[in-house]
Amino acid sequence: AEDIGKCALGIFKKGKEYIGKTVGIAGDHLTGAQMAAGFTKALGQEVRYNAVTPEVYRSFGFPGADDLGNMFQYKRDFEKEFTGARSLSVSRSLNPELQTFDQWLARNKSRIPLG
């Protein structure tokens, strides 16, 4: 939330440049396996990525499972469009302090419960 707030401030500072525009924000574009490797390195415990298909995710039956399954399907089927709508260079121009995933992990690893 801190990074997003600073990006929003960056948009306001640009004045009229972003009026009427959609701005996607991202600090990194990583695969599940890359995130698991980051967790493993930061936490010192092996973390494995377990890919769940959107179809299986939708079958979980909890409130919002359908919506999340649809989101995961969009990300899977339209990866180029998904990441293209979230430019890393634009995000960093709005917030030069925007954290990478590894930086976020380093700052927050003590808050991640291990069990």
Cα–Cα separations (whole angstroms), residue 16 to 3, 5, 11, 13, 54: 21, 18, 9, 9, 39
Residue at 104 is within a domain:
yes
Tens digits of residue pLDDT in 19-47? 999 999 999 999 999 999 999 999 999 99
Residue 114 lies in a domain: no
**In the chain, how many domains are there?**
2
User: Are residues 81 and 40 both part of a single domain?
Assistant: yes
Residues in the chain predicted with pLDDT less than 70, given as ranges, are none
In which domain, by residue range, is 96 found? 1-13+23-29+87-109
Predicted TM-score (pTM) of the model is 0.82
